[in-house]
Amino acid sequence: MSHVVAIKDQVEAAVRAALTEVLPAELAGTDPVVRRSDRADFQANGPLAVAKRVGRAPRDLATATADRLGGSVAEAKAEGVANAAVTAEVSGPGFLNLTVPAATLWRQVAARLADESLGIATTHDGERTVIDYSAPNVAKEMHVGHLRSTIIGDTLARVLAHLGATVIRQNHVGDWGTQFGMLIQFIDEHPERTWQGEASMSALDALYRAARAAFDTDPGFADRARARVVLLQSGDEATLSTWRELVAESEAAFQAVYDRLGILLTPADADGESRYNADLRGVVDELVAQGIAVDSDGALCAFTDGVVGPDGDPVPLIVRKKDGGFGYAATDLATVRLRVEEYHATRILYVVDARQALHFRMVFDVARRAGWLPDDVAATHVPFGTVLGADGKPFKTRDGGTVRLDDLLDQAVERARAELAEKDHGLTPEEFERVAQAAGIGAVKYADLSNTRTKDYVFDVDRMVALNGNTGVYLQYAYARVRSILRKAADAGVELGRPVDPTLPLHPAERALALTLDELAATLDDVAVTLEPHRLAGYLFDLARAYTEFYDRCPVLRADDDAVRAGRLALCELTGRTLATGLDLLGLAAPDRM
Ligand code: ARG
């Protein structure tokens, strides 16, 4: 693996050096503010921004910087300077329009192609990142809320691992709590209701609702359920054994969903709430000893400076309830402690919906004060918005129930099947079915990932599976088109992987594609910092569009000569590998043919 320095970084370094030479010493290293531009390859606004501080006319300073960069474009052309790092032209009030020589771009394409990881540096080497995601609840169906956590968390896990971090996946399954006393008691009293085996989750979900109804209406049952909670907590064997069956049955159902969705989670990643059971007393005792948790109306609570409710009263983080039971907050405090102490995390991400923002703010604050979360460990809540139905309200079935994930995926696959069937695809029925699955499931994942994480979005299957627009299917198509060209080339006996001739001129569509191809590494770094997968989705969409433009304008197999064809094939190959890497990091399958 060898790291390839991105063109933009090279350009930035060149302009920074040139600007430093024309500025007084104390302004050395001033940010040249380099951006992609539609007028040239890049634009630098740094000279304009700093001119006032040195009392110079912006165009003057920009011209001086451009001169240092090796002359104007015209001069460079006249002198045949093909290898100047960059050529600059002053424009407007004092911007620099920057153009990269064709040879630099061709060499960059070749350098990325020559590296098996496309020259992407492992910028997160040495980090240990715990990612808490998915976290469905035992004996309940996974719902759309878990879908978002699952999809977003998985992409973050993939991207961070790709950049060299050691990623520790944690599925904080809801597998403990008083509700299990109720459920187990109900199961015991209704041996006629079977729930194991196929469709166990629907059966369990129904059982759970029936148990809840009995609990709310039948005081006798409620008492027996409470007694059962005590038995569960004290480790009664018969009770525990039913509980274990519930957990096993649910985990198998979750795993089926993960497998279908192409999610990395396995049973080994499950660190459910029950795992922390034995730690809770210690967590609370320590908080009391440190004076962080105090009695409030019989409950033990911690408070965070500045966190007040609408009435102005401090909001409590309840670590032990009035009835002596430990809650969700105590468990999450225990997760922080364990992840630092045992997993040696340097960064902990909780991919949980936005409504839990306050919970995590307080958990992190309390954990820091208790000394469980050292300053050099970052704990971050990674919030996300709600999935909405067509009516703009949280997504529900017609009768107001939770939408089963399997049903939702079935629906997407069916729409994808219909959409793809209209194309003249030339696939065998088996291949077609595989592609329809990849397209339907990819469509759901991509729709989620391409939306700004913190925003709500409307679940609209028709839009998700569209062949045009910012969809997963569009990207998969772009990839399949690249593969198809490379296959045709091979079939025609064209040699692939020939060295690229850097003296070739660049068509504007080739130039735009080459520049976009060079941005994957920076995009991934950006995702790793912001934890926003839509940046990668948006990048891949731009790339697919740049490729489409190139494909429309620059004949590949029917290119004028061998050298031009070799250059274009290199662009195709790099596009294919870049799309494949990006799609894989988003967790989308990339079929070779569609
Ligand atoms: N099981 C919870 C739910 O379904 C989500 C848990 C999120 N993770 C955590 N560490 N609190 O809402």
The rounded Å distance from CA 439 to ligand 1 centre is 29
Supply the DSSP string of 147-213, one letter for each residue. Answer: HHHHHHHHHHHHHHHHTTPEEEEEB--B--SHHHHHHHHHHHH-TT----STTHHHHHHHHHHHHHH
Tokens of 553: 């304008």
Shortest-distance Cα residue to atom 6 of ligand 1: 135
- For residue range 548-568, list pLDDT tens digits in order: 999 999 999 999 899 999 999
Distance 310 CA to ligand 1 centre (A): 25
Q: Whose CA is nearest to atom 4 of ligand 1?
A: 136
Residues forming beta bridges with residue 131, ordered by sequence position: 169, 349
pLDDT tens, residue by residue, 45-98: 999 999 999 999 999 999 999 988 875 444 545 554 444 578 899 999 999 999
* Nearest-atom index, ligand 1, CA of 174: 1
Probe ligand 1: pick from 179, 180, 356, 361, max atoms within 8 Å of CB?
A: 356
Structure tokens at 125: 């080497």
Check if the beta carbon of residue 478 is closer than 8 Å to that of residue 548. Answer: yes
Going from the Cα of 145 to the center of ligand 1, the distance in angstroms, rounded, reads 10
Q: What is the pLDDT of residue 404?
A: 81
pLDDT, one tens digit per residue, over 159-206 is: 999 999 999 999 999 999 888 999 999 999 999 888 887 777 888 888
The structure tokens listed for 16 are 């920074």
User: Measured between alpha carbons, how far is 426 from 424 in angstroms, rounded to an integer?
Assistant: 6
CA 68, 74, 77, 79 dihedral sign is: negative
Tokens of 28: 């050395």
Q: Where are the beta strands (DSSP E) in 427-547?
A: 457-458
Ligand 1 mean position, distance from CA 149 (Å): 9
What separation in Å is there between the alpha carbon of 359 and the centre of ligand 1?
A: 11
pLDDT of residue 108: 96
Tokens of 291: 């004076």
Centre of ligand 1 to C-alpha 174, Å, is 7
- Residue 328 CA: nearest ligand 1 atom is 11
Please provide the size of the chain in residues: 594
Residue 481 has pLDDT above 70, yes or no: yes
Which of 131, 138, 146, 172 to probe ligand 1 with, by most ligand atoms within 8 A of CB? 172
- Calculate how far, in angstroms, residue 383's C-alpha sits from the geometric centre of ligand 1: 12
The three-state secondary structure class of 145 is: helix
Average pLDDT over residues 569-576: 98
- Strand, coil or helix: 347: strand
Residue nearest to atom 9 of ligand 1 (CA): 172
Cα dihedral across residues 364, 370, 373, 376: positive or negative? positive
With 70 as the cut, is the pLDDT of residue 13 above it?
yes
Q: Mean of the pLDDT values across residues 274-301?
A: 95
- Segment 211-216 shows an average pLDDT of 95
Q: What is the pLDDT of residue 397?
A: 76
For residue 146, the ligand 1 atom closest to its alpha carbon is 4
What's the mean pLDDT when you consider all of the chain?
93
Written as six digits, the tokens of 411 are 């629906």
Q: Is 128 helix (H, G, I), strand (E, B) or coil?
A: strand
**Any bridge partners for residue 326, and if so which?**
320
Q: How far apart are CA 74 and CA 89, in angstroms?
A: 9
Two tokens, residue 491: 């079939």
Half-sphere exposure of 2 (CA within 13 A, CB side): 8
Which residue, 139, 331, 319, 325, is CA-closest to 229?
325
Q: What digits encode the pLDDT tens for the residues 83-136? A: 457 889 999 999 999 999 999 999 999 999 999 999 999 999 999 999 999 999
pLDDT for 417 equals 95
Among 229-238, 552-561, 572-581, the range of highest mean pLDDT: 572-581
Nearest-CA residue for ligand 1 atom 5 is 135
Strand partners, 318: 301
Task: From 364, 373, 292, select the one nearest 329 (Cα to Cα).
Answer: 364
Q: How much distance in Å is there from the Cα of 352 to the middle of ligand 1?
A: 7
Q: The dihedral of CA 523, 528, 532, 533: what is its sign?
A: positive
Contacts 24+ apart (CB under 8 A), 281-290: 281/326, 283/319, 283/330, 283/333, 283/334, 283/337, 284/319, 284/320, 284/326, 284/330, 286/370, 287/319, 287/333, 287/366, 287/370, 290/369, 290/370
- How far, in whole angstroms, is CA 261 from its chain's centroid? 15
Gap between the Cα atoms of 379 and 365, Å rounded: 10
Alpha helix locations (H) across 196-322? 200-217, 219-233, 237-261, 280-289
- What pLDDT, on the 0 to 100 scale, is given for residue 83? 47
pLDDT band of residue 275 (cuts 50, 70, 90) is very high
Dig out the tokens for 205 from the structure. Answer: 């979900």
User: Which range, of 69-83, 207-221, 363-377, averages the lowest pLDDT?
Assistant: 69-83
Map tokens 């979360």 to a residue.
373
CA 56 from centre of chain = 45
Task: Give the residue, 325 or 37, on which the prediction is more confident.
Answer: 37
Q: Using CA atoms in the order 482, 483, 485, 491, what is the torsion angle rounded to 10 degrees? A: 170
Residue 197's region, left for phi above 0, alpha for psi from -120 to 50, else beta, is: left
Residues with CB under 6 A from ligand 1: 132, 135, 137, 172, 174, 332, 335, 350, 352
Instruction: Tell me the percentage of the chain whose pLDDT exceeds 90.
Output: 81
Looking from the CA of residue 332, the nearest atom of ligand 1 is: 10
- At 351, the amino acid letter reads V
Distance 273 CA to ligand 1 centre (A): 9
* pLDDT class of 402 with cuts at 50, 70, 90: confident
